[in-house]
């Protein structure tokens, strides 16, 4: 990158509420500040003390985290308001605080990067003559689906899950109706409205950063560059694959006795003989699904390490249960008739132990499973190479910074 600037490029990164949204932003900020000599300020609509509680002091060593004052939204929501809608409302109500925070800086950022829930902050970036970029912490296929949703919204009548044919995204793999993300399950739900508006905002960004890399999603990334229909919905906005961005463990993180015992046990096992089972920091299953998973793992007779979290009364993620009596009905959170319509299309209320056993054996014992595991190992190597100096994602990050620099020069010369 051009290093002739008189001072470091200053980038502000806006994180929406929730640690699951703040963490990817911290990782991005850490990479920009340590690998690309950029000054970074993370603007968090989340209480900063919770960052220290997660043991992320090392990630904060190279940049500042500025908390946007929390806003009471209790008068704008009720008990039925979905989480994603709450987040968008919190972001909208926090915009005055964002303006105050930015105006109070001695050194104003020249660029504002917003996550998926913060596109309403784009006008704030315009007010301060900042270049604005979008950061998608998932992948390119998800980005393509959301970007193309305004077109699907006009093309398809009724609920997407009622559609009998795959949803076509130009130049990309099609999406089966039952594969749409949660925000698209019910077009009458306010969270779909927010999701659709955010998709419309994609084209307002000067560029889109995506946590993926060329070898992982070559077809989708090529579509962003070459497919005219997809480029049109994005208003020719450039997409920069800059991943994989993950939090790497540090020596200073330490290790507790339980983890040490697990590591010692792992060292005694044959190479590649242990299955790791985890559904992420927010992944919880119903008690019934936990039971089936436990039996399925035991029946497979494979070595495994399972990150177990307390069961959710109402399962989330991919699992929903239907109860009777005075207990709440989990299908209340789904479009009316959804379970009936999708019962033969892949939507499964609970995955039973036999199917879990068979899948574990397939991955750990079969030749097809070996091919999958080899592919994962190959992607691991490719991913590490992508973010290394000279790798595709490293170069893409440089391209983003050069583009931002040129846009700044152009805006200042007008």
Helix and strand counts by DSSP (H, E) for the chain: 14, 9
Instruction: Please classify residue 70 by burial: count the beta carbons closer than 10 Å to its beta carbon, then call 0-12 exposed, 13-18 middle and 19+ buried.
Output: middle
Given 2, 10, 21, 267, the catalytic residue = 21
Burial letters for 167-203: b for 16+ Cβ neighbours within 10 Å, e otherwise? bebebbeebebbbbebbbbbbebbbbebbbebbebbb
Given 115, 201, 206, 215, the catalytic residue = 115
Active site residue 21: yes
Rounded to a whole number of angstroms, the CA Rg of the chain reads: 23
Q: How far apart are CA 279 and CA 288, in angstroms?
A: 16
User: DSSP class of residue 121?
Assistant: G
Q: DSSP string of 384-413?
A: HHHHSTTSHHHHHHHHHHHHHHHHHHHHHH
Q: How far apart are CA 46 and CA 141, in angstroms?
A: 28
Residue 368 and residue 362 in contact, taking contact as beta carbons nearer than 8 Å: yes
Phi then psi for 218, rounded to 5 degrees?
-60, -40
Provide the strand spans (E) within 137-216.
207-210
Q: How far apart are CA 394 and CA 386, in angstroms?
A: 6
Tokens of 74: 């209790």
Element (H, E) at 67: strand 64-67
Give the residue carrying structure tokens 């998608």. Answer: 136
First to last CA, the chain: 24
Q: How many CB atoms lie within 10 A of CB 308?
A: 12
The 3 state secondary structure assigned to 344-355 is CCCCCCCCCHHH
Nearest CA-CA partner of 405 in 127, 111, 113, 12: 111
Active site residue 153: no
Three-state secondary-structure class, residue 227: coil
Report, as residue numbers or ranges, the catalytic residues. Answer: 21, 115
């Amino acid at each position: 990158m051009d290093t002739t600037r008189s001072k470091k490029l200053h980038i502000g990164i806006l994180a929406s509420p929730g640690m699951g949204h703040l963490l990817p932003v911290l990782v991005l900020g850490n990479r920009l500040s340590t690998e690309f000599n950029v000054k970074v300020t993370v603007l968090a609509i989340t209480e900063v003390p919770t960052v220290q509680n997660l043991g992320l002091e090392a990630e904060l060593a190279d940049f500042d985290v500025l908390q946007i004052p929390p806003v009471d939204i209790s008068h704008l929501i009720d008990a039925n308001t979905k989480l994603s809608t709450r987040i968008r409302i919190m972001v909208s109500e926090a915009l005055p605080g964002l303006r105050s925070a930015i105006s109070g800086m001695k050194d104003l950022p020249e660029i504002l990067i917003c996550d998926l829930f913060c596109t309403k902050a784009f006008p704030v970036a315009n007010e301060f003559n900042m270049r604005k970029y979008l950061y998608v912490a998932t992948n390119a296929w998800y980005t393509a689906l959301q970007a193309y949703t305004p077109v699907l919204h006009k093309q398809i009548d009724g609920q997407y899950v009622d559609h009998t044919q795959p949803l076509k995204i130009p130049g990309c793999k099609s999406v089966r109706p039952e594969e749409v993300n949660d925000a698209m399950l019910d077009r009458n739900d306010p969270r779909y409205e927010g999701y659709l508006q955010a998709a419309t905002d994609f084209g307002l960004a000067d560029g889109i950063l995506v946590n993926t890399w060329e070898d992982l999603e070559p077809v989708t990334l090529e579509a962003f560059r070459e497919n005219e229909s997809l480029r049109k919905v994005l208003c020719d906005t450039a997409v920069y694959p800059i991943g994989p961005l993950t939090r790497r463990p540090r020596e200073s993180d330490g290790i507790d006795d339980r983890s040490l015992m697990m590591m010692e046990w792992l060292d005694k096992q044959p190479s590649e003989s242990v299955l790791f089972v985890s559904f992420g920091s927010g992944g919880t299953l119903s008690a019934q699904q936990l039971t089936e998973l436990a039996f399925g793992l035991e029946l497979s007779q494979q070595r495994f390490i399972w990150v177990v979290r307390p069961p959710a009364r109402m399962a989330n993620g991919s699992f929903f249960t239907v109860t009777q009596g005075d207990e709440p009905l989990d299908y209340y959170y789904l479009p009316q008739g959804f379970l009936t319509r999708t019962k033969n299309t892949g939507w499964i209320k609970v995955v039973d132990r036999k199917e879990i056993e068979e899948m574990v054996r397939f991955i750990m014992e079969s030749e097809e499973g070996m091919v999958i595991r080899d592919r994962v190992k190959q992607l691991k190597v490719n991913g590490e190479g992508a973010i290394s100096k000279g790798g595709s994602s490293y170069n893409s990050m440089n391209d983003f910074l050069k583009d931002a620099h040129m846009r700044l020069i152009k805006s200042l010369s007008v």
